[in-house]
Amino acid sequence: MKRSFVVGLVFFFLFQGFVMAQKPRLVDRIAAVVNDEVITLSEVDEAALPLYRKYLAGVTDPQEESRIMHRIRKEVLERLIEEKLIQQEIRKRKIRVSDQEVEAFIHRVKARLGGEEAFRDFLSTQGLSEPEYWEQVREQLKRLKLIRGSVQARIVITDEEVRRYYEEHYLQNAEKTLHLAAIVTSEKERIREAAKALAEGQDFSQVARRYSEIPGEDFGTFKFSELAPELRKALEGKGPGEITPPVTSGGRWFIFKILAIKITPTKPLEAVKEEIRQTLYQKALDQYFKRWLKELKERAFIKVFI
């Protein structure tokens, strides 16, 4: 009886093997080894699925499809390797995040979204349950703690860096007011004569008294943005004391001399100092993190099989 049972089992497994051999099946394999952990091809394909859907839609050539899949797999695998290294580092440093920390973070998210109902709508659009979101937040907070401990302490943003950023990004968009002297005439020949006199080195005030059709050379102050486009073009890039070539606008001819320029920032430095500091800090943090991750890769044992 026992012998016939064993023989039956042998035939059963042989038969099962034969049946399975007749069916196509996906055989998983190792895509990479990261220190003492593996990343499987199925993990790569699962993470790459949205990219497959995006970039393989409409592709009919098998060779082209294979090339695209290979490129996507390489890119996704690189990201998964980095993620694996970060997770290993988190475990190595025994980084923990309490339920209270997760709850506090989610409370801030709810407040920013506009309440409990908006939060549930957010989870629905992300296709997440609340427990799944909790775990995502927990992992992200662990990463933040890791980054703070490994990278953040190296970053110092000086007042000089803040001031330079302000000048480059805020003053360039500031409101510019010009105090102008002008020679104004409706006659083209008259403005040519005035331009010739100025080119010969004659004093602007004297030339204006001789050729301008309006009394006095002081034309007034104007916001740069309020001037006609053709006048802005003639004045663009010129500083105090400089004179424009003749320019026509509204049926008249003008030659301008810039007496003074006043720049009024849309926001004073004190009002945006912390905002700029945070911008510079985040930029520096991204750079340091990339460098830190590169060093982490160089120290790790990584073997790629695809």
pLDDT tens, residue by residue, 69-108: 999 999 999 999 999 999 999 999 999 999 999 999 999 9
- pLDDT value of residue 280: 92
- pLDDT value of residue 1: 43
Phi then psi for 123, rounded to 5 degrees? -60, -40
CA distance 106 to 137: 8
Segment 289-301, tens digit of pLDDT = 888 889 999 999 9
**Which residues belong to CATH 3.10.50.40 in the chain?**
175-264
Helices and strands (H, E) in the chain, number of each type: 11, 7
Instruction: Report percent pLDDT > 70 for the chain.
Output: 89
CA distance 97 to 91: 12
Query: Which three-class secondary structure state does DSSP give residue 220?
Result: strand
Confirm if 86 and 37 have CB atoms less than 8 A apart.
no
CA distance 56 to 73: 13
- pLDDT value of residue 172: 65
Q: Which long-range contacts (CB under 8 A, 24 or more apart) does 154-162 make?
A: 154/288, 155/281, 155/284, 155/285, 155/288, 157/277, 157/280, 157/281, 157/284, 161/280, 162/269, 162/273, 162/276, 162/277, 162/280
CA distance 150 to 305: 30
What DSSP line would sit under 58-89, residue for residue? Answer: T---HHHHHHHHHHHHHHHHHHHHHHHHHHHH
Confirm if 230 and 245 have CB atoms less than 8 A apart.
no
* Overall fold of domain 175-264: Chitinase A; domain 3 (3.10.50)
